[in-house]
Structure 1
Amino acid sequence: MKTTFVYFLVGISILLSCKDQPHPEKVLSIADDQQVSFDQIVDLTHVFSEETVYWVTAKEFEFDIVAQGETDKGYYYSANNFATAEHGGTHIDAPIHFSEKGQTVDEIPLHNLMGEAIKINISAKALGNPDYQISTEDFMNWEKEKGTQIPDGSIILLETGFSKFYPDKIKYLGTDQRGEKAVQLLHFPGLSPKAAQWLVDHRKIKSIGIDTPSIDYGQSQYFETHVILLGQNIPAFENLTNLDKLPETGFKVIALPMKIKQGSGAPLRIVALLGN
C-alpha cells in the first residue's frame, strides 16, 4: 500500500496537468514494468478568483495582472500577483488552527492527506435544514447500510449538497455581510461535536472534509468540532465541491495544500481517484 502511494505522488503533477474530460482513462507509466491506472479523476476544488467565498472576517482573494502580452523582444509573457487569507475557498485547516500544540500546514504528514476514502451523503437532511449537524447516528447508519465499520486510516468526505450554492454567499453562507457581526448570521450544515468525539473515540481516521465553509455548522459559537478533531491532529478540508460525482466507497483522495511554513491553513488542491 505504501509503495502504491509513492507511485501516486510521482504521477500527481502529471495527473493534475491533464485537461478535464468527462470520463478519461488515465494511465501513468511509472516504470517499464509498473503502471497505475485510474478510470476517472474528480477535481474536488473550487477555482480561486475574486468570487471565491471566504470566512466573513478573512481577507478575500485579490488578483493583479502584472504583465500580459507580447514583449518588445517578440515573445508572449504573462505574470500575476495574488494575495489571500489562509482560510477561504477550498482549503485545509491545519491542527494548529484550533490546537496550540497542533501541527502546522508544513508539519502535517503526507500520509494523512492521501489514501482510501469514503463519502457519507447527508444532503437529503442538510438541504432541508441549513443548521443541520451531522450526527453519530448518520455515521452508524452508513455503517449499517454498508455492513462494515468506517475503515481504519480512512479519509471521510461529508456531502451536504451545499456546494451547488457556491459562490452565492447568501445561499451558501447565509449572509453576504462581512466582519465580526456577520458571524452570527451564518447558516450552513456541519459536523456535530458529539459525532466528532465519537470518531475520535471509536474510529481511526486520517482526515475529514466537507462541502461547506466550515466543519462546524454556521451557528457554532465555540467551534467545538474543530477543537476536538484538530486537537487530535486530524486536519479538515473545507469548501469542497463535486462530492456528488463520487461513490460512497472505492476511491482514493489526494489533498495537497500550499506548503506554508507555520501556516494554520492553506489553499488546497484536492482530487479523488476512481478505479484501479
Structure 2
Amino acid sequence: MSLLRDLVEAVRGGGIEVLDLTAPLGEKTPILTLPEPFGQTVPFTLQEISRYDDRGPAWYWNNFTTGEHTGTHFDAPIHWVSAREGEDVAQVPPSRLVAPAVVLDFAAEAAADPDFLLEVEHVDAWVREHGPLPDGGWLLYRTGWDARANDQAEFLNADDTGPHTPGISVACARYLAEETPILGIGVETVGTDAGAAHSFDPAFPCHSFLLGAGKYGLTQLRNLDRLPPTGAVILAGPLPITGGSGSPARVLALVER
C-alpha cells in the first residue's frame, strides 16, 4: 500500500502532474462525416430531464445522445472488420487501461503538410534517439491538430478531394501492428487514420492492422505538447458498453515534474 500512498502524495504535492488529454464533449465537438450511402454518427446532444423545477425540484440531470466514436474516444478491436471476433470495449482488461506512453512529435511537419504521414523511418529515428517503444504502452502521435478542434471545418479540413489530415502510412501502420510491442496508438485527429486513408491500400490501415492485431486506438487527444517524449503514464477510461465498438473516454496522463 505504500506505493499507492506515495503516488497520492506525489499527486497532491505536485511531484506528479495530472494532465487531461481529453477534449470537452459538447454539441460543437467535431464528428467524422462519411460519404453517402454510409451510415452517419450523430452529434452529441443533451436533453434536459429536470433542473430544480416541477420535473424534479431538487436535482438537475440530462439524457444525452452521441455516437461511440465522438470526441476523445477509445477504439476497441471489434470496431473493424479485421477483428470482427475481437474484444468489444467492455471486454478490454482494466489493467490495459493504465499504461506507459511515448510521444512522437511531428507537429512541424504536419503544419507544413496537412497530408503528412508517419513512416517507419520516422519511428526508427525516434527509437535511436529515445530508446525502444514501450512494451504494452501507447504510441502518442502529436501533429498539433488539436489546435483546430473547436471548428468542425478546420478540424476535418476537407475539400473536393476529401479530408486532408495527417496520419500514418500503410507500411508504418503494419509495422506498428505487427513488429512493435505497443498497446495502441493515440492521435489528435478525428480518427487514427489519415484523412486520405480511404484511398490507401488497404483503406484505413491503422484501423485494419492495429485493431486486427488486437490493439487499440485513442483519438481527438489534446495537450500532447505538455508530455515528455518518454516517461508519462496514460489512464484511459472508456465506458464499458456491452457489445460496444468503442466509447467516449476520459484520458489522463501522469507526468513526473
**TM-score in terms of structure 2 length:** 0.86
2:234 match: secondary structure? strand
Output the CA distance in 2 between the equivalents of 1:100 and 1:201.
18
Match of 1:196 in 2: 173
Output the CA distance in 1 between the equivalents of 2:42 and 2:123.
35
Root-mean-square deviation (Å): 2.6
2:176 match: secondary structure? helix
Aligned length: 243
Match of 2:107 in 1: 123
User: Residue type of the partner of 1:149?
Assistant: P
Output the CA distance in 1 between the equivalents of 2:95 and 2:59.
38
1:185-230 per-position Cα deviation (integer Å, ceiling 9, x unaligned): 2111112221121123321011210011111100111112211000
Output the CA distance in 2 between the equivalents of 1:72 and 1:172.
38
Question: How big is the shift at 1:26?
Answer: 2.2
Match status 1:237 vs 2:218: yes
Question: How big is the shift at 1:260?
Answer: 0.5
1:122/1:138 contact within 8 Å kept: no
User: Residue type of the partner of 1:155?
Assistant: W
1:169-184 matched pairs, under 5 angstroms: 169-175=152-158
Q: Which moved more, 1:111-120 or 1:225-234?
A: 111-120
Output the CA distance in 2 between the equivalents of 1:151 and 1:92.
19
2:208 match: secondary structure? helix
Output the CA distance in 1 between the equivalents of 2:140 and 2:28.
24
1:101 match: secondary structure? coil
2:118/2:168 contact within 8 Å kept: yes
Match of 1:216 in 2: 193
Relative to structure 1, the CA distance from residue 257 to residue 161 in structure 2 (aligned partners, 3 Å threshold; closer, same or farther) is: same
User: Residue type of the partner of 2:252?
Assistant: V
1:165-188 per-position Cα deviation (integer Å, ceiling 9, x unaligned): 11212211114x9xxxx9x52111
Match of 1:106 among 87, 90, 103: 90
Match status 1:156 vs 2:139: yes
2:178/2:213 contact within 8 Å kept: no
Output the CA distance in 1 between the equivalents of 2:152 and 2:223.
18
1:71/1:77 contact within 8 Å kept: no
Question: How big is the shift at 1:38?
Answer: 4.9
Match of 2:77 in 1: 95
1:120/1:159 contact within 8 Å kept: yes
Structure 1 segments (4+ residues) deviating >4 Å: 70-73
Give the gaps of 5 or more residues in structure 1. 16-23, 29-36
Match of 1:18 in 2: none
Match of 2:67 in 1: 85
1:23-70 per-position Cα deviation (integer Å, ceiling 9, x unaligned): x96239xxxxxxxx8521000001111011111131111111221125
Match status 1:50 vs 2:32: no
Output the CA distance in 1 between the equivalents of 2:229 and 2:54.
51
**TM-score in terms of structure 1 length:** 0.81
Match status 1:257 vs 2:257: no
- Percent identity over paired residues: 31
